[in-house]
């Protein structure tokens, strides 16, 4: 893409052109030439959207809840962007489920932008492109951006890097959901939703969540918890303070997404958490953490590409492995020799 075309595309996105937004996200997802310049230009126009991550095991009703959540936001006059991260095709890397129809309540509403994206094999179901797509939606002017993840289990913690508030869905009577929470996804939640609350076992699931969140307090106090969050709300007295002494008690909300029940209460909890982030300075701290990790990830990816090129320049991995097996060299020596040009270049630029 030429520089002029890239600038035109950015201008169209900032002017509210939905087709330009769709093209931009496609270029981001495909890593098309020039996409970095586009994201860089959009970055200055970001920072106003509230980003909500929605995760939970398959079958918990995430898509239905996101649909109702988007409708409720629209009823309040807010614009919404939804990124649904789908399982990747092992052959094409594309989203297997594609742009499936799952925003039934918002069909035809131009102020709800839905995009299905491929996970591309990333742990936690979030592709590297998701963070850039969020920036595009933010720069476009969306008030709320919802990222719905695959629900792959413990590795779902990747959603934390892109969301201000993380919602974890649990359905009643599911042993898999309880095991998922015990496996580690418990620590990432700011708001927990017991969906399908009209089913038998909902009260027991709420009690289980309360107990597990109380148990999480010790780990959080030691610095292991998500965002420094503490124990549960709903009357709990054991909490963990943020760095400034303020506390956030993760909340439990019961919903019946198919009927839209509990969605208002969920939005109230989301608003309360975001207000907490702003009032305590946690929002800024979290943004700094995300940007630091983004820089590191970009550097890791770019350096890995450079090193792959250097390996090919030296005859390819097979020849290097053959030399090691023949005891002509060793892995450490090979690594040092491949890194030497990069190290020398960095040192020269630094001087």
Reported as a single tens digit per residue, the pLDDT across 246-305 is 788 899 999 999 999 999 999 999 999 999 999 999 999 999 988 998 898 889 889 999
Query: What φ, ψ does residue 303 adopt, rounded to 5°?
Result: -65, -40
| 86 strand-pairing partners | 118
Higher local confidence (pLDDT), 3 or 267: 267
Higher-confidence position of 229 and 89: 89
Average pLDDT, stretch 143-161?
75
Question: What are 180's strand-pairing partners?
Answer: none
Predicted confidence band of residue 241 (pLDDT cuts 50, 70, 90): very low
More confident residue, 303 or 121: 303
- Is residue 114 within a helix (H) or strand (E), and if so which, with residue range? strand 112-118
Percent of the chain with pLDDT over 70: 77
Kindly state the average pLDDT of the residues 113-127: 68
| Res 337 pLDDT > 80 | yes
pLDDT score, position 221: 56
Looking at mean pLDDT, say which of 39-43, 92-96, 100-104, 210-214 comes out highest.
39-43
> What is the structure's pLDDT at 26?
93
Q: Which residue has the higher pLDDT, 267 or 211?
A: 267
Q: What is the pTM of this model?
A: 0.83
The per-residue pLDDT for 19 is 95
| Residue extents of the structural domains in the chain | 46-279, 295-350
**How far, in Å, CA of 351 to CA of 346, rounded?**
9
Note the pLDDT of residue 204: 87
Mean pLDDT value of segment 178-201: 80
The yes-or-no verdict on residue 107 having pLDDT over 70 is: no
- Helix axis angle for 3-14 and 18-30, nearest 10°, is 130
Name the more confident of 57 and 17.
17
In sequence order, the 6+-apart residues with CB closer than 8 A to the CB of 180 are 56, 57, 153, 154
**Considering only CA atoms, which of 205, 194, 191, 166 is closest in space to residue 268?**
191
Query: How large is the average pLDDT for residues 21-33?
Result: 92
CATH code for residues 46-279: 3.40.50.300
Average pLDDT over residues 168-178: 74
């Amino acid at each position: 893409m030429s520089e002029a075309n890239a600038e035109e595309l950015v201008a169209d996105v900032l002017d509210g052109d939905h087709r330009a937004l769709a093209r931009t996200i496609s270029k981001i997802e495909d890593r098309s030439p020039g996409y970095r310049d586009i994201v860089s230009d959009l970055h200055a126009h970001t920072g106003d959207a509230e980003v909500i991550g929605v995760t939970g095991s398959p079958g918990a009703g995430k898509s239905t809840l996101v649909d109702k959540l988007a409708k409720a936001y629209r009823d309040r006059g807010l614009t919404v962007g939804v990124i649904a991260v789908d399982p990747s095709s092992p052959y094409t890397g594309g989203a297997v489920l594609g742009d499936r129809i799952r925003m039934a309540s918002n069909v035809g509403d131009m102020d709800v932008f839905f995009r299905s994206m491929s996970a591309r094999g990333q742990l936690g179901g979030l592709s590297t492109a998701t963070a850039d797509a969020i920036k595009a939606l933010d720069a476009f002017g969306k008030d709320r951006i919802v990222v719905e993840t695959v629900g792959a289990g413990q590795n779902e913690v990747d959603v934390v890097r892109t969301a201000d508030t993380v919602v974890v869905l649990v359905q009643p009577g599911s042993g898999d959901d309880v095991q998922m929470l015990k496996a580690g996804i418990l620590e990432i939640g700011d708001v927990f939703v017991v969906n399908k609350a009209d089913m038998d076992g909902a009260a027991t699931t709420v009690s289980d969540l309360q107990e597990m969140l109380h148990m999480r307090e010790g780990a959080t106090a030691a610095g292991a918890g998500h965002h420094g969050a503490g124990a549960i709300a709903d009357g709990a007295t054991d909490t963990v303070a943020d760095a400034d002494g303020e506390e956030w008690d993760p909340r439990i909300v019961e919903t019946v997404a198919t009927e839209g029940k509990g969605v208002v209460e969920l939005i109230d909890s989301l608003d309360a958490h975001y207000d907490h982030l702003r009032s305590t300075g946690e929002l800024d701290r979290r943004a700094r953490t995300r940007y630091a990790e983004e820089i590191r990830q970009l550097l890791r990816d770019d350096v890995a590409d450079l090193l792959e090129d250097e390996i090919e320049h030296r005859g390819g991995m097979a020849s290097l492995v053959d030399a090691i097996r023949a005891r002509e060299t060793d892995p450490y020596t090979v690594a040092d020799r491949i890194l030497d040009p990069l190290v020398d270049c960095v040192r020269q630029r630094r001087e």
